[in-house]
Structures are given as C-alpha cells and as structure tokens.
A = this chain, B = another copy of it.
Amino acid sequence: MVKKRKEKSIEELVQGVLNGDRVTLAQAITLVESNSIRHFERAQQLIEAVLPHQKQSIRIGITGVPGAGKSTFIDTFGSFLTGLGLKVAVLAVDPSSNVSKGSILGDKTRMERLSRDVHAFIRPSPSGGTLGGVSRKTRETILLCEAAGYDVILVETVGVGQSEYVVRSMVDFFLLILLTGAGDELQAMKKGIMELPDLVVIHKADGDNVEKAEKVKEEMNMMLHVLRSYTEGWETKAVTASSIKETGIDSIWNVIQTFIQTTNNNGVFQKRRKTQQLEWLHAMIKEHIERHFYNDPEVKELVPKLETEIIEGKRAVSSSALQLVGLYYEKLKR
C-alpha cells in the first residue's frame, strides 16, 4: 500500500531549503509552480521566509539559435563551475513547454554530466501558462535556489516569442550562443536579440570549424564594436568555444567574473537588480488586473460581440473599449 506523503509545513520547507536539501528544494519549487490558490499563498509565505537568507549569486541567462548547442554548452560550462567548487542551478524559461515527467528526463539526458553532479541542480521550465506565469515561477525558483546556497544560476531560454527579453530582465549577465553557419547572426540580429548579450559565444569551434569560427568571431567583434552595449560601461565581445573539446570555457568564466567586478564597482550590478525587482512588481500587477478583467463573466460575454461589430465596421474601437471598461467598473461596485 502506498502511504500518502504528509505535506511539509512551511517551517519544514524553509529549513530544508536553507539546509540545501535537494529533495525539499524540489518540493518547494513544485509549490511555487502550482496553480492552486492555496499553494500560491503557501508559496508566498515560503518565499518571504527565505528572502533574508538569499546567497549573493550570479544569475546568467543563456540563449541561442536552435541547434547552437545550448544544452551541451550548459553541460560543459556547468561542470566546469562545479569543478571550481561552485554550486550550480540550471533553470529554463519555455512558455511553450508542456513539461511532463518525460521531458524532465529529457532535460537530464540533454545534460548528461551535470545531471549526475551532486553540486548541480537541474529544473526544467515550469509547464504551461502564459509567459508572465512562467516568468514569475522562474524568478521565485531563482530565489529558492539562492536560499539553498547555489552560487551560479543558469537560466536557459528556448527563444520562443519574447522569452529572451523576459530572461534578460531576470539575470545579471546574458550570453548569446551562435554557430559559425551563415545566416545565424542575421537571424539573431533580425529578432533584435543582438542588443541583449553581454557576451557572444561562437560555439562548436572545433575540428574543421576552428578557422571558420575565428573568422566569424572577428566579424562579430567588428560589428559589436559599432553597436551600443546593453550594459552601461561594458563592451560586449565575441569569443570562440568548444564544449566537446572544452576549449574557451575558462575564458568565458573569466569574462563573467570581470563583468561582475566591473558592474559591482560602477554600481550597475546593484542598480540593475533593483530595477528588475520593480519591473517584476509592475508586470505582476498588470497580469493580475488584466486577468481579473478578462475573467469577468459579463466582459467575457461582451468581448466577442464587440469584436465582431468592430470587424464589420459598425463600432469604433475606442467606444467599444470604453463600454467594456465602464461595464466592468459598474459591476465591481455592485
């Protein structure tokens, strides 16, 4: 007979997380990721309790075109970091994912070395929901991992929709992984991703690719030199690396350390973290009030009718918006 696991109290969760217990950390994240209202309230108590115990970590966002080898890179880079004695957490933001047990296994398989490393903690993207929901959950998971003593938080984005911008808004340092193949840089530029990174890694610089990668690196550096950097007081550069040959990995870590030192000295690091928190507050507020509005039964009923009338040219957009909003506030007063 399977015994139902007793639900841990908030105190037990807090203690477990602060002790760095991986099982409790996973349970705490599950609580944060739950969509039930009761769990949400418990999760908030948990977050507030661990807040004063956050370790000062480095939050690194990682993006790249599909096939650039993000997982392989994270596997090698993460293992390099744990080799230095650092504790590494790997999270992901993928609003399109419908994560099941299967893809959790998938994530662990993608990062073979790291998934067997006791100093690494891998957690796939929270499943389903809006980008807003996924990003709230990921931000809170960052806080939990920091409370559990993780030194480096790697946040991978799959590059769907606006997810690069969301990840950029929750990390200190942003890394773009490109391949040597033609067109990659263009696609990245076209999507406006080129304005985000603090470092560009030309990946898979091994075997026959080395020469080509060096050439792309030089071109990219010329290009980056012309562009304004995302981070004040920092010039974004390109480097080459190979995850398979494990070359260039230490240089990347050196760049990140220099970045942290530079931005700590000029105050950009602290300023960015503060700004990010306030942006997060207002993003959450907007999500709340929009959901409240669109979930109103009368609004729900009227919206499609007005949409049809607008498309048929019978109604103006402004007056329709006004009618909907007016109805909503009238109703709230009742």
Chain B residues with CB under 8 Å of A322's CB are 44, 288
When the two chains form their complex, are residues A319 and B190 in contact, meaning their CB atoms are under 8 A apart?
no
Q: Which of B136, B274, B310 contacts A311 (CB 8 A)?
A: B274
Interchain CB contact (< 8 A) of A307 among B278, B321, B324, B325: B278
User: Is B316 touching A44 in the complex (CB atoms < 8 A)?
Assistant: yes
Which of B52, B278, B280, B293 sits near A285, CB closer than 8 Å? B293
Q: Is A194 an interface residue (CB 8 A)?
A: yes
Do residues A140 and B318 form an inter-chain contact, with CB atoms below 8 A?
A: yes
Shortest CB–CB separation between residue A147 and chain B, in angstroms?
A: 12
Q: At the interface, yes or no: A189 with Cβ under 8 Å from chain B?
A: yes
Partner of A315, one of B48, B228, B284, B313: B48
The CB with the most chain B CB atoms within 10 A, among A290, A317, A318, is that of A317
Given contacts A189-B190, A278-B307, A285-B293, whether A318 and B54 have CB atoms under 8 Å apart is no
User: A51–B313 contact, CB under 8 A?
Assistant: yes
Count residues on chain A whose CB falls below 8 Å from chain B CBs: 58
Bound Cα distance from A149 to B306, whole angstroms: 27
Known: A289-B289, A293-B289, A324-B285. A280 touches B317 (CB 8 A): yes
User: Which residues of the partner chain B approach A315 to less than 8 Å between Cβ atoms?
Assistant: 48, 51
Asked if residues A319 and B187 are in contact (CB atoms below 8 Å), the reply is no
Q: How far is the CA of A325 from the CA of B292 in the complex (A)?
A: 10
Complex formed: what's the CA distance from A292 to B292 in Å? 13
Q: How far is the CA of A56 from the CA of B150 in the complex (A)?
A: 60
The one of B51, B52, B194, B332 in contact with A329, judged by C-beta atoms closer than 8 angstroms, is B332
**A333 adjacent to chain B (CB < 8 Å):** yes
Q: Is A223 an interface residue (CB 8 A)?
A: yes
Proximity bits, A163-183, B CB within 8 Å = 1, else 0: 000000000000000000011
A311 and B281 alpha carbons, distance in the complex (Å): 11
Q: Is A186 an interface residue (CB 8 A)?
A: yes
Cα-based distance from A317 to B289 in the complex (angstroms): 16
A residues 260-311 touching B (CB-CB < 8 Å): 274, 277-278, 280-281, 284-286, 288-290, 292-293, 306-307, 310-311
Contacts of A48 in B (CB 8 A): 315-316, 319
Q: A326 — nearest CB in chain B belongs to which residue?
A: B288
Instruction: From the candidates B189, B227, B285, name the one contacting A321 in the complex (CB within 8 A).
Output: B285
User: 0/1 per residue, A123-164, Cβ < 8 Å to B?
Assistant: 000000000000010011001000000000000000000000
Who on chain B is nearest to A275 by CB? B311
Residues of A within 8 A of B (CB): 43-44, 47-48, 51-52, 54, 136, 139-140, 143, 182-183, 186-187, 189-192, 194-195, 223, 226-228, 274, 277-278, 280-281, 284-286, 288-290, 292-293, 306-307, 310-311, 313-322, 324-325, 328-329, 332-333
Q: A47-B318, A278-B311 are in contact. List 10 more A-B contacts (CB 8 A).
A: A44-B319, A44-B322, A183-B226, A187-B226, A284-B321, A285-B293, A288-B321, A292-B329, A332-B332, A333-B333
Closest 8 CB pairs of A and B: A192-B192, A284-B321, A189-B189, A332-B332, A288-B325, A44-B319, A47-B316, A183-B226
